[in-house]
Amino acid sequence: MKTKEPMKRILVIGNSGSGKSTMAMELGRLLDLPVIHLDRVFWKPGWVESSKEEFDASVRALAKRPRWVMDGNYTRTLPLRLKRADTVIFFDLGRWTCLFRIYKRVIGDYGKVRQDMAPGCPEKLPDWEFLKFIWTFPSVIRPCLTQAISSMSKSQRLIHLRSTAHVSAFLEELNLTLKT
């Protein structure tokens, strides 16, 4: 992972269950960057959604910060966040992997509030809409993400992770780079 400039504003995107939040927390730890989970910003206690205006204003303010790791898709605000990011990590894993991980997460965390979720939003069984989102992600959301990514400048880094092996290799390389 040879880079000219240190990573200061990292955007982590991809399907639900792909590992975005886990990666964001690991990058925050390794690079000593504050971590912003957009699900914590979007959801209010009891799984109540923020208004568009409230969420957008929060994202604008968070993106203006000088240093962060931010995970979440929220495609409406992606152009704003992408413009500020110096690095984009795109989790492009298969839907079966993502679905398996979601069910594994539910089994392990059912009824608990995960670190990447808003207070008052405990892990629950996935509903049909959430499962449909994961299943249709490759044909519905992925094209929006790839189109946005195509507008990145040459000074921005794209790290495209297509498998769990790619994720492991990236983290191993980053750890080695940080030790030198």
Instruction: Give residue limits of the domains in the chain.
Output: 9-179
Q: Can you say whether the dihedral through the CA atoms of 122, 128, 130, 131 is positive or negative?
A: positive
Check pLDDT > 70 for residue 160.
yes
Check pLDDT > 80 for residue 49.
yes
User: What does the pLDDT read at residue 96?
Assistant: 96
Read off the pLDDT band of 175 (50, 70, 90): confident
User: What does the pLDDT read at residue 89?
Assistant: 98
Check pLDDT > 70 for residue 2.
no
Q: What one-letter code names the amino acid at 101?
A: R
Check pLDDT > 90 for residue 3.
no
Overall average pLDDT of the 120-132 stretch:
95
Check pLDDT > 60 for residue 65.
yes
Check pLDDT > 80 for residue 100.
yes
Check pLDDT > 80 for residue 149.
yes
Check pLDDT > 80 for residue 5.
no
User: What does the pLDDT read at residue 4?
Assistant: 58
The crossing angle, in degrees rounded to 10, of helices 20-31 and 164-179 is 0
Least confident of 1-10, 35-44, 66-75, 113-122: 1-10
Report the CATH fold assignment for 9-179: Rossmann fold (3.40.50)
pTM assigned to the model: 0.92
Would you tell me how many other CB atoms lie within 10 Å of the CB of residue 39? 17
Overall average pLDDT of the 35-51 stretch:
96
Strand-pairing partners, residue 161, are 91
Residue 136 C-beta-side C-alpha neighbours within 13 Å? 9
Check pLDDT > 50 for residue 23.
yes
Assess contact for 45 and 104: CB atoms under 8 A: no
Task: Determine the Cα–Cα distance for residues 125 and 106; give it in Å rounded to an integer.
Answer: 6
User: What does the pLDDT read at residue 179?
Assistant: 82
Read off the pLDDT band of 1 (50, 70, 90): very low
Read off the pLDDT band of 110 (50, 70, 90): very high
